[in-house]
Structure 1
Amino acid sequence: MIRKAFVMKVYPDQHEEYEKRHNEIWPEMVKALHEHGASNYSIFLEKETSKLFGYVEIENEEKWAQMAKTEINQKCWEFMQPVMETHPDNSPVTTQLKEVFHLK
């Protein structure tokens, strides 16, 4: 199991909409995430800065990398594009974080 953490940014006036869209996550998205080795996936919001902190556990990097290429993931990126910072291909602007401590 590999732990991954990352930071993204939601637009300041879109906090509630971002949360609403995740509360209504599509079953086919959940299925694809599991099929690509994801588990224990959480996203947290720091309201003052509109920063999102994401954490996910994955089986392996190669399997996880394939998730971005799926049709459902592309659909999700397009759906989320109006509420958060994204690249021209609609993928979220994401900064990967380096793990510096883990307590078992």
Structure 2
Amino acid sequence: MMIRKASVMHVYKDHYEEYKKRHDELWPEMEEMLKAHGVSDYSIFLLEDTGQLFAYLRVEDEAVYARVSETDICQKWWAYMEPLMETNKNNSPVSIDLTEVFYLA
């Protein structure tokens, strides 16, 4: 059974195009790492009025997914994205997990 996850983040308004460009050109090793950690159906949506990002993905296992942040490629990606969005001290995106309240299969 796949686990659905959703979160919100924030991209700076003057970096919308660059944020999209960098995801359009996602590094192959980043994609490989995510898939190796059981990630699928990963989408990010932008609310242009505010810069709010809504991320949705499915994972096979929460514990395996939690190790994504420990990989060198993830650390490199976070540093690459840091100038474009709100981040924590370790360059990870400021991300708020959302609680699922409805699902229709």
TM-score class, shorter-chain normalisation, is over 0.9
The alignment's TM-score, normalised by the length of structure 1, stands at: 0.99
After TM superposition, which residue ranges in structure 1, 4 or more long, deviate above 2 angstroms? none
Give the equivalent residue in structure 2 for 1:81.
82
Structure 1 gap segments, 5+ residues each: none
Give the equivalent residue in structure 2 for 1:10.
11
Q: Give 1:15 deviation, angstroms.
A: 0.4
Give the equivalent residue in structure 1 for 2:64.
63
Structure 2 gap segments, 5+ residues each: none
Q: Provide, for residues 24-65 of structure 1, a one-character-per-residue CA deviation record: whole Å limited to 9, x for no partner.
A: 000000000000010000000000010000000000110000
CA–CA distance in structure 2, aligned partners of residues 37 and 56 of structure 1 = 10
CA–CA distance in structure 2, aligned partners of residues 69 and 85 of structure 1 = 20
Matches within 5 A, 1:1-104: 1-104=2-105
The alignment's TM-score, normalised by the length of structure 2, stands at: 0.98
- How high is the sequence identity, in percent, across the aligned residues? 54
CA–CA distance in structure 2, aligned partners of residues 15 and 68 of structure 1 = 24
CA–CA distance in structure 2, aligned partners of residues 71 and 102 of structure 1 = 34
Aligned Cα root-mean-square deviation (Å): 0.3
Number of residues paired by the alignment? 104
